Structure 1
Amino acid sequence: MAESAPKAEDYIRWATGHTHHAPPGSPPIPHDVRMELVSKPFTQNIKATGATGVSLFADPCNHPDAVGTILNFAAKQADFFPCKGLAGQTEHFNNYIAKVSTFPGFMLTFDEPICHELTHDHITRMIDDIVKSYDGVADVDISKIVKSIEGMANSIVNVIPAMPGPVIFTQMTILGNSGDPSLLLTIFYTALQLKVDKTGKRTITSPQSYIIHRKAFRVLTASLVANADKLFDLLGNGSFDDWLKGATSPGGSKLSCLEERHLDAKKET
C-alpha cells in the first residue's frame, strides 16, 4: 500500500519537535570524548535563485535553496555547526541525522553501510573506497568527491588537539538532475582513527577497519509545493549557501598527508 502524502500537520510536528523517532537505519556514531568531526559538503547541478517568501517552496526551480533552508533549520535544532570547529560536533551529529531523516518532505531511498579494511599505508585506497561507495546511490562528479575528502584531511592536519583520536569524515551533498527539478540529498560518513607520526603530522592509521555509512533522500517536490505556505510560515527564508557555510569545517594552508600522497599518486600514473 502506497504511503500517504505528507500533510501540513506533519510539517508542523516536525518543526515543533513532535516528530516520532527516526526509523531504524545506520547505527549512531559511538560516543568518544576525543572524537572530532570534519565536514566538507558540496553541490552539483544546482544554482541559487535568491528566492524569498512562499515561492521558495512553491516553485520547484527554487528548491535547492528550499532544501538548504530545511537543512539549516535541522542544524539549528540539533546545534550542529561544523563551521565552529572540529571538537564537540560529533555529539550533535546523530541528532542532526535523525532530524533530517524525519523531515516529511524527504523520502529515504538508500540507507546501507559498507565495510572496508585499510591494511597498508596507501591512503589513496581509502579515497577510492569512498568514491566507489557512491556507485548505485548517486551520480556524482568524482573530482568533487575527491576535493571534499582532501579538504577534510586538510582541516584535520591544521588543528592540533591534546591527544589525537577518532575522527568522523562526513560528506553531505545536494544534487540536481539536469532538466529535472527533483533533487537528491546524500549524507555519507566514515569513522577513522588518527595518530601522530614521527614528523608530528596527524595521519590516518593502518591497518584499520572502517565503515562508510550511506544515506540518500529524494526530495518530494510535489509535497513542498503543496505545503509551501505552511513551510514558509514554519521555516522562513534561507538558501543552500547558508547551509554550506554552516556545514563546512574550517581548513588551513598546510597540506595533509592524504593530500600529499594523493598528489604523489597522480604524478606516478
Structure 2
Amino acid sequence: MSSGADGSPSSSLLLSGLSLLTIFPTSPYTGLSKRRTSTASHSTQDPTDAELLAASVELDVEAPSSSAVPPTPQRSLPTAEPEQLPLEMQPVSTAEVLLPEGWKQTLPKEQHQWVSRALFTRDQSGRLALTKNLRLWWPPPGPRLVYTQPPSSPDTFFHSRLFLWMPYRMWAFKLLCVHPECRRLGHKLKACGTYKTVRRVLDFSGWYFMATEYLECRRCKKKVAGWSQGILDQLDPVHREKFPAILTYRLSCDKEVVSLM
C-alpha cells in the first residue's frame, strides 16, 4: 500500500499517531521508570549522622534495665584478733614490751618482742618479773616457713639468740663479795635484779647477745655483774666452762673464735 498526501491510508496512520502524542505527551512507562530510579537512588544512599544518632537513642531507651548483670558480692576473709595472731604477724603497737629499761637501751629493737615474751611476765602486783624457768641459751622463734599474708614487721628475719648468765639464780651458788674486806669476813652476795647492759658477742655465725644478773653485797651494798671476773673465779671448773665468751671493756668475742687466733 502506497502513502500519499491526498487522504491515503499512510496519511491516516500518521494523523492518528500525532493525535495520541497530543493526548499523552509522555509515555505511562516513563514515570514508572523515573519512580524506580528515584527509589533505587534512595536505597543506595548512606544514612546520615543524625539518623544514626536517633537510632542509637531509641535502642538505649528500649533496652530493659534488668539486662545489667549485678556485681558479684565479695566474700570477706575472717580476720583474727591481734592477740590470737602469731608473734611475727602481730602489729608492733599491740604487743607489750616487758623489758628492763637498761635492756631497752642496749638490746636492738628487733630483739625486743621475742625476748620480752620469752623471759618476762608481770606478777600479781603488776611489776616486771623474770621467768622461773631459766636456762643458758634462748633461741629466737625466727620467721615462719610459709606466710599466707605479709608480716607486720621484718624483725623476725633478724633475730639472734640470747645467752642468759645467772649463776646465783640458776645454781644457787654461795658467792662472796668481791671487796677484799667483805670477802675476808665471808659476806655473801644476793640477787639484785638484772644487769642494765646487754652485751653483743661475736660468733662464727654472726652475733649473739648476752645478759646477766646484778648481785649486791649484804654488808657494803656494792653491786657487781654476774659475768665479772671476781664472780667467774668463784665457780667450779664445770660451771666455769659454761661461760662461752671473753669480755673486755668494749668488745666481746666467743671463745671458739678466739681459739683460732
User: TM-score under structure 1 normalisation?
Assistant: 0.24
Q: Counting strand residues as a fraction of each chain, which structure ranks higher?
A: 1
Which of 1 and 2 has greater Rg? 2
